[in-house]
Structures are given as structure tokens and as C-alpha cells.
Chains A and B, each alone.
Chain A
Amino acid sequence: MRDTWLIFRHHTRITLRNKFAILITAAQPLFFLVLFGPIFATFGSWETLVPGLIIQLGLLSAGMAGFGVVFDWRSGVLERLRVTPAGRLPLLLGRVLNNTFTLVVQTVLLVAVAYLIGLRAPLLGVLGAMALVVVLGVSLAALSHAAAMRLNEHLFAPVMMTAVWPLMLLSGTFLPMSMAPQWLSTLSYVSPFRYVLEAMRELFAGTYASGVVAVGVLVVALFAAISLTVGTRVFSRDNA
């Protein structure tokens, strides 16, 4: 517990020192919000679009968190920490929680800008969606770290940059899957993000006690459990 906190605090201090990095990782969804949102709003609602952009943000921010570990791996920092008696799970979790913290800050920024230009979601709904963002952030960051440790460092960037696009499109980030032809909609059920996104849209619309929300919560919890298991296993691999 103490180790997790120490690692989290250390990395969060570094994050806060590089505020511009927080902004630039959130830039893509912000561009979509400002430059695509007004078109979307002519036939759809901001409450439908913004949750999609939150998923996009999650994939681009927490999903790319593994870059940090590639960097620390190359500079030998990771190995130096692995020789300390710190637990292997805290070494991963401290980083993952820092990535999640960053994601939450970015999401608050995204939602705030969305409010300025037309979003009208109820506060309770936004808070509920935030809770999903936290769990989603933990999962994505843990998986991203596992991928970064497993993939060759030259492959990590192109693989991740390519993987986020089908994941985004299949979750219905930009246009809801209800508009898709049957085969595409069926295919999209393999993406855990579809369930989370639909739950967030319900929450933004002010519906809290629905089956869609329950399924979203269940899927994101399951996703987190799997991601953390995979992440810890990869992180503690090969220790004596």
C-alpha cells in the first residue's frame, strides 16, 4: 500500500510538472469536440457525442500509458526499482493510478469545455460516468503497460496507434452503433468499450437504474480484473 502510494506520488509529481503533456494528450478529443461536435449536434445530441469522446480520450491517454514504461525500461530506471524490496504489484499500480489521475483531469477538462458549447448532462450522470472512467483508466493503463513490456519497443507505438482506431470505431465513439448495419453492430459487441460507452450515454441522459448501465458496470469491472491480472503477471515475470 505504502509502495503504491510512493510510486503514485512520484509519478504524479512528474505529471504535474509537465502540464502541457496533459493538455496535448487530450487535444485529439478536444478537436473532435470543437470541430466535429457542432456538425454532430445538428442531428444528434451533445449527451451522445461527449461519452464517445471520453472513450477516445481513455484509449489515447491511459491506453498509451505504456510509453512511460518503455522510457523507464530503456533508461534502466525500471530495473533499478525492481531490485528494491518494493512489491511487484505496487510498482505497476502506482504508475497505473497516476495514469488514471491524468485521465480524470483530462476528462474533467473535456466535459467542462463541452458544457461551454452545449452539453447539458445532469451532474449525477456525469459523476457516475466519471466512476466508470476511473475503472476504465486503471484497466487500459494496466493493459498498456503489459503490452509495452511484452512487445518489442519498436513495435509498441505502431501497434498501439493502430489498435486504438478499430477499438474506437467499434465502440461507437463518433456515431452510435444503433446507426450501424446489423453485421457491424454484432461485431462491435466484442469490444468492451461498446458496453461502457452505452452505459455512459444513459448516465449522461439522466437514466441511472437501467439494464444498460448495469451491464456497462459489470463489463468494466470484469475488464479491470482481467487487465490487472495480466499486467501484474507480465510485470513480475522473470523475477527470482
Chain B
Amino acid sequence: MIDVSGLTKTFRNGVEAVRGVDLTVAPGEIVGFLGPNGAGKTTTMRMLATLLRPSSGSATIAGHDLRSDPRGVRRSIGYVSQSGGVNPVNPLGDELELQAMLYGMSRAEARSRIADVLATLELTGLEGMPGGALSGGLRRRFDIAFGLLHRPSVLFLDEPTTGLDPQSRAALWEHIRSLGLTVLLSTHYLEEAEALCDRLLVIDGGRIAAEGTPAQLKGERTLNEAFLEIAGRPA
């Protein structure tokens, strides 16, 4: 579903944020991108979401080539950024409707799809509120609702549970798992990686440092010990 080879990004100021990432994600797989701050997780995801132009390398997402068909990629992915994209002052329903219609839905289709997505994420009844009136956990679920409106085949989640309390976090994991989608998510919470992901990619210094199921990466150690060893610095 996602095929990435030799992806790099060097910013104009000379920072090499991503130095050659290869990765594959199979349909229906939940893959976790694990790594310290500044490892290149967000930059890689932003490149795959067509928000940043890669310096070199190639990627195919849901059958669309990232370079030659960014619109095709955009149509097939949902992307939820680290900071989210909820308008704090405008009713969420209006924002959802605009978003759905930008994917080509008619107003009637948009409304029925919004109702479905909100029901799935247990957000029904909150669409009249502005984003700023919601708790962090609810806002995060709305962020994901925005990413799901057009039934994407791939979902990118950049640190989906950062800043959430343990209950909201567990609820969000439950929701993500129940979607049955191909998901690439970044996190630096080891228990999140272990609880949610089928497979993990450890990224450090802009390169994939290790790869495997949580059990494989752990071996005899705890995941924390394994992570520290791979990423080579204190978390």
C-alpha cells in the first residue's frame, strides 16, 4: 500500500532531516514510526502527504506515484498532523462539510458521510461546537474525523495521542484499530507502539535503524531498552 525507496530531504538551510528512508506498508497493516524528536518522522510523513517536496527518492502510495501524481495521492490518503487542523472558532460541522466537498462530495453526500464518521468516532452531537470549546481528546478525534471523510485507503497519523490523558489515549487506540485501514503513525510512546502497531520502524538521524514486530525488536529486553540501544541516546 505504501512503497518508499531512497527518500531524502535536505532543507534549504542545509539540514539533512531525512537521509534515505526505505519502507513498505502492506494493506491493512498498522505500522509505527518510532524515534526520538528530530529523527525525521514528521518530515518523512509530510513528504508522503505531499506537503513537502522530497530532495530525492521515490514513493508510491495506494498506487499513485508521489512525484507525478500528487493529486492522486491526496485523494487516497488521510493525514492528521501533529498539531491538528481544527478551526478553534468556527463550528466544526461547517469545516467538515467544506473538507468533504473539496473531495468532490455533494452537500447531501457530505452530510451523510459526516454523520457516519462522527458516529464511528463517537462525536455525534458535537458538530455545532467550535474546536476551541472541546477537550484535547475530543479535538484529536475530530482531527481524525477530518482525515477519514473521503474514505482514504491510507491514514497517516503524526503523534496522534501526544498530550492526551491515559483514558483518551486508550479510547483513541481503540478507534484507530477499529478502522481496519492501512495506518502509518509516528509516536515516541513505547507502550503506544507496543499496544497498537503490527510492526515498528525505528528511525534515527534520518535513517531507518531497525525494523520488526514489537516482539522481534524486544527479544529478551523491554522495548525501552531495545529502543535506547537502537537509537543510541537517552530518551
Which residues of A approach B to under 8 Å, CB–CB?
3, 6-7, 10, 13-14, 72, 75-77, 79-86, 238-240
Contact = CB atoms under 8 A, between A and B. Distances in A.
B99 interface: yes
Given A3-B102, A75-B88, A80-B99, A85 B51 contact: no
B151 interface: no
A75 B81 CA distance: 11
Contacts of A239: 50-51, 53, 70
A80 B54 contact: no
A76 B84 contact: yes
A7 B86 CA distance: 16
Which of A3, A75, A84 has its CB near the most chain B CB atoms (within 10 A)?
A84
Contact of A84 (B74, B84, B90, B131): B74
Given A6-B98, A10-B98, A13-B94, A83 B51 contact: yes
Given A83-B50, A240-B66, 20 more contacts: A6-B98, A7-B98, A13-B94, A14-B94, A75-B87, A76-B84, A76-B85, A80-B81, A82-B50, A83-B49, A83-B74, A83-B77, A83-B79, A84-B102, A85-B74, A238-B53, A239-B51, A239-B70, A240-B47, A240-B52
B83 A76 contact: yes
Contacts of A85: 71, 74-75, 102-104
25 contacts: A6-B101, A13-B94, A75-B86, A75-B87, A75-B131, A76-B85, A76-B86, A77-B85, A77-B95, A79-B81, A79-B85, A80-B85, A80-B99, A81-B99, A82-B50, A83-B50, A83-B77, A84-B102, A238-B51, A238-B53, A239-B50, A240-B47, A240-B67, A240-B70, A240-B73
Interface of B: 47, 49-54, 66-67, 70-71, 73-75, 77, 79, 81, 83-88, 90, 94-95, 98-99, 101-104, 131, 146
Nearest to A18: B89
Given A239-B50, A240-B52, A81 B102 contact: yes
Say whether chain A's binding surface is mostly helix, strand, loop, or mixed.
helix
Contacts of A240: 47, 50-54, 66-67, 70, 73
A6 B102 CA distance: 7
A85 B95 CA distance: 16
Contacts of A75: 85-88, 131
Contacts of A80: 81, 85, 99, 146
Nearest to B78: A83
Nearest to B80: A80
A14 B94 CA distance: 10
B111 to A, nearest CB: 14
A238 B86 CA distance: 22
Nearest to B74: A85
A80 to B, nearest CB: 3
